[in-house]
């Protein structure tokens, strides 16, 4: 039986480098209207950085036990069902709270119009429900990498194990 040989330094450095490069490219594209169609694909790819890095490390390790451990961590029956409504409602509630907080600083109530459609040119033709879908998808892809590989790689390092 092969041991679980995680590479946390490579995972975290590769994830951060990949994510920041793609997100900086997305930020650059957001200022150029001819490339605005690339904004959401780039954001989605950037947020998928942890998953992409996890799959690269799992594929190059050629270790069946790592794959089994990865899939075991992502099983849906591990999710406590009473958290699901909280998880789904968290992002929209956070947006409403952020807008409400900005009202204290004199910003316009027009910000709440984002629930009818977008005011930002980068978000044109994307509904609030569409935006929520993109965020939910990108966060799920991000979490697959962190939960499936990143956290366990920290738990299996010698340094971390001897400290705790």
Instruction: Report the C-alpha gap between 25 and 43 in whole angstroms.
Output: 9
pLDDT, residue 119, reads 46
Chain position carrying tokens 């950085």: 49
Give start and end residues of each alpha helix (H) in the chain. 8-29, 39-47, 49-61, 64-73, 84-103, 128-145, 151-155, 158-163
pLDDT, tens digit, for every residue of 89-139? 887 788 888 888 888 988 888 777 765 554 455 555 556 666 677 777 877
Give SS3 for 136: helix
Is pLDDT of 160 > 50? Answer: no
| pLDDT band of 33, cuts 50, 70, 90 | confident
Task: Report phi then psi at 50, rounded to 5.
Answer: -60, -40
CA 61 to each of CA 66, 67, 85, 116: distance values in angstroms, whole numbers, following the listed order: 8, 9, 37, 47
Please provide the average confidence, as pLDDT, over all residues in the chain: 79
CA 136 to each of CA 44, 111, 140: distance values in angstroms, whole numbers, following the listed order: 10, 21, 6
pLDDT, residue 158, reads 56
Nearest to residue 59, comparing CAs of 129, 11, 123? 11
pLDDT, tens digit, for every residue of 89-99? 887 788 888 88
Residue 15 · residue 145 · CB < 8 Å: yes
pLDDT, residue 107, reads 83
């Amino acid at each position: 039986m092969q041991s679980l040989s995680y590479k946390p330094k490579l995972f975290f450095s590769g994830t951060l480098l990949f994510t920041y490069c793609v997100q900086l490219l997305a930020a650059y594209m957001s200022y150029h209207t001819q490339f605005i169609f690339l904004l959401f694909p780039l954001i989605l790819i950037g947020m998928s950085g942890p998953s992409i890095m996890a799959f690269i490390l799992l594929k190059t390790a050629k270790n069946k036990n790592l794959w089994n451990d990865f899939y075991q961590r992502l099983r849906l029956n591990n999710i406590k069902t009473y958290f699901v409504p909280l998880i789904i409602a968290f992002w929209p509630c956070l947006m409403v709270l952020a807008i409400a907080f900005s009202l204290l600083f004199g910003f316009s109530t027009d910000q709440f119009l984002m629930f009818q459609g977008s005011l930002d040119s980068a978000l044109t033709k994307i509904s609030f429900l569409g935006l929520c879908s993109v965020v939910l998808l990108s966060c799920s892809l991000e979490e697959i990498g962190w939960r499936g590989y990143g956290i366990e790689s920290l738990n299996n390092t010698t340094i971390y194990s001897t400290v705790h």
